[in-house]
Structure 1
């Protein structure tokens, strides 16, 4: 059985939750199916500049077909269209124009999908938000699985997405909160679906002291892992942490793991480690006192699961239904709503070692029971096989229109 994963970016150099999710799932399912990845030549999600060479490549044993993006994002046009589509009433055609401006639009990728669709048994489209899924999925909807990674953010409420979310043969959700949100907005409860999440590839061993020596961090620290961007509420995180240090002087540090897409305050207790290897990331988690996840928009926080597998509690933004739900179901951390709750959560975890250990163990037990690879892989395989069987039985849904690219 030949399965194609379609995603906007793919590679070891790519820093993004949906992209990492795609890579991990594709690598695991390659043990059961003949897996390929169809993607663009872009690395940077803000510019979509073609940086990889087009053609066939191999990444961790997976065949990757890369196609050039037609052109980089035109920031002024994208910004203008964003103000229009999120600012009031407008025709649907402007939402389609917004999507093309959002990118990455690759004519070569869409032409390949349409021309070669008969050679694949199933297409798995990762994340709803980009052109690769919006224009690609309707070309193969009868054999498409959508993994929307949907967050409760303004784009999800654009009218153009109702058709998309009712088009695939099946949907994989990452969390119960994501499924509830999508069903409420698009009324697609009748589509075959499953809530699967992901597994975690833990290193054989992690060494916190190795991280401390490499990055010269001697004090206790809170770790943030992910893109450093306003979209992840990093500005608020910096403001809250700076205020905390004014009220609680001492050696506590905030260590940042990931690429920065915004200015990071020049603060003596904020340390930028940058984009690091998997070994360094898990060493950092091991060395930390806790993980901080400030984002309000998540479909599944993989790094929360990694923190729990690493034996660390987490602090999350209560404004995010998904991460708050992960914490509530696991008992593996605390949620904050505003600065005072942020301060109190840190105080509680730093001041009570037994409590910190109890939350960490609860999180680990939840992660092991919920995100084991055997279960994740098996459920993904079963859903893909069901889509292929439906095709073989001639089960076709009709009445859906291809989305125009104009």
Structure 2
């Protein structure tokens, strides 16, 4: 029999341990914990890697944390760019190991086409995983040789070699933070076993949890739903923000990639401009993986500082999030922290769910809905303010770092006393 614990917790655990909810101050430095992630650094400002860094830095107040990662920065090539060895980033110790080989794009794409679209063997799926990368034999060797010095291992994202080959080495000490969503790779058979191996799972959203439980039938594994914390930034409190763009604008912030829906966004925006003759501009921030169309009303600002990011959010009319595949969108939380409404791709259950629960945004599933929603938002400042204020209330209630830290620490305590 299993029971839920905590006032709002979704943690599942055996009935005899249901009273294990401890205060954070009882934990402190008593645990040595490894965070395993495919890449790690200040240059990486999105996705599961950013979540890993955020959580590691916040939990380092309570636990002795090492990050185990590769020397790669670029997730497309996995080229070794950092020096191997130890370093310290924002108070967290980082151990880097070289990637055995960079990704061969043509070979990987050919293998992807086979395993995702055609009949294939389990060996071909494993080969696909190695080609997906980053494969680091020295990293796996370190995990296996040093597993006894760590109490627990957190593995961030299910999708890469660091988790697929690393987690089984320490399954009895592993907590998976899967960052999973309904995408083609998750239907590969190699993941059926992986999602049953960890001692516990930390999901980012209710939608992610529901999808994984439905897909893998692994509800016997203790879990909770946390996500990421967001907090008031000094840049958010600064009222002297300036933007080089003086006209009204909407914004996209994140990796500029086809897989993030950016191609569709650019197409929708250009069509909207042609039909509506609106003066609105689209301001795009982030690392560009794809070509950004040349258009007088599309402004690309590149990879910017935290101050510039918050200035953009504070001055925009709407944040657009066009991705179909998300397990959590931190930039949505940041937009709501700035009291800004959002417009998201409704084909992504996570983004749509965040909007429904917060009442802080609208969603679309095709161009016609995109156009109607954007017209509605741009024409009604009062509506934008109402959605933005509700989003801020939602973030304040659910995504304070105090709440997120407690969820992670409680899950550690539950594993310890099982």
State the TM-score bracket (shorter-chain normalisation).
Answer: over 0.9
Q: Is the 8 A contact 2:203 2:226 kept in 1?
A: yes
**Counterpart of 2:417 in 1: which secondary structure?**
helix
**Could you report, residue by residue, the CA deviation over 1:318-349 in whole angstroms, capped at 9, with x for unpaired residues?**
10000000000100010011111111111111
Q: Summarize the Cα distance change of 1:208–1:99 in structure 2 as closer, same or farther, 3 Å threshold.
A: farther
User: Is 1:103 the counterpart of 2:133 in the alignment?
Assistant: yes
Which residue does the alignment assign to 2:89?
Answer: 59
CA distance in 1, matches of 2:371, 2:228: 31
Q: Describe the shift of the 1:322–1:173 C-alpha distance in structure 2 as closer, same or farther (beyond 3 A).
A: same
Unaligned runs of 5+ in 1: 391-406
Structural mapping, 1:292-311, within 5 Å = 292-311=320-339
Shift >3 Å, 4+ stretches: 207-211
Measured in 2, the distance between the counterparts of 1:129 and 1:118 equals 25
TM alignment of 1:122-141, pairs within 5 A: 122-141=152-171
Please give the alpha-carbon distance, in whole angstroms, between the structure 2 residues aligned to 1:39 and 1:57: 11
Where does residue 305 of structure 2 map in the other structure? 277
**Are the counterparts in 1 of residues 360 and 389 from structure 2 also a CA contact under 8 Å?**
yes
Matched, 1:203 2:233: yes
Using the TM superposition, give the Cα deviation of residue 378 of structure 1 relative to its aligned residue in structure 2, in angstroms: 0.5
TM superposition shift of 1:208: 7.4
Q: Distance in 2 between matches of 1:388 and 1:77?
A: 43
Does residue 264 of structure 1 match 2:295?
A: no
Once residues 416 and 123 of structure 2 are traced to their aligned partners in structure 1, the CA distance between those partners, rounded to angstroms, is 33
Q: RMSD over aligned Cα, in angstroms?
A: 1.1
Q: Which of 124, 147, 154 is residue 94 of structure 1 equivalent to?
A: 124
The alpha carbon displacement at 1:376 in A equals: 0.7
Q: 2:183 aligns with which of 153, 160, 181?
A: 153
- 1:372 equivalent in alignment to 2:403: no
1:349 lines up with 2:380 in the alignment:
no
Q: 1:62-100 deviations in whole A, cap 9, x for unaligned?
A: 100010000100111111110110112211111000000
Task: Write the distance in 2 (CA, Å) between the matches of 1:240 and 1:196.
Answer: 33
Counterpart of 1:399 in structure 2 is: none
Q: Are the counterparts in 1 of residues 144 and 169 from structure 2 also a CA contact under 8 Å?
A: yes
Say yes or no: does 1:173 pair with 2:203: yes
- Looking at structure 2, the residues matched to 262 and 23 of structure 1 have their Cα atoms a distance apart, in angstroms, of 26
Normalised by the length of structure 1, the TM-score is 0.94
- Equivalent residue, structure 1, for 2:282: 254
Name the CA distance, whole Å, in 1 between partners of 2:314 and 2:118: 47
| Contact 1:15/1:259, CA 8 A, preserved across alignment | no
Is residue 185 of structure 1 aligned with residue 244 of structure 2? no
Question: What's the TM-score once normalised by structure 2's chain length?
Answer: 0.91
Q: Cα deviations across residues 259-289 of structure 1 (Å, max 9, x unaligned)? A: 0000100001111111111111111100111
Tell me which residue corresponds to 1:318: 346
Distance 1:187 1:211 in 2: 50
Conserved in 2, the CA contact under 8 Å of 1:225 and 1:258?
A: yes
Q: Out of 75-84 and 116-125, give the one that drifted further.
A: 75-84
Question: Separation in 2 of the partners of 1:89 and 1:339?
Answer: 34
- Please give the alpha-carbon distance, in whole angstroms, between the structure 2 residues aligned to 1:227 and 1:351: 28
Q: Determine the C-alpha separation between the residues in 1 that align with 2:245 and 2:110.
A: 43
Given that residues 208 and 283 in structure 1 are in contact (C-alpha distance below 8 angstroms), is that contact kept between their aligned partners in structure 2? no
Does structure 1 retain, via aligned residues, the 8 Å contact 2:235–2:307? no
Show structure 2 runs of 5+ residues with no match.
1-30
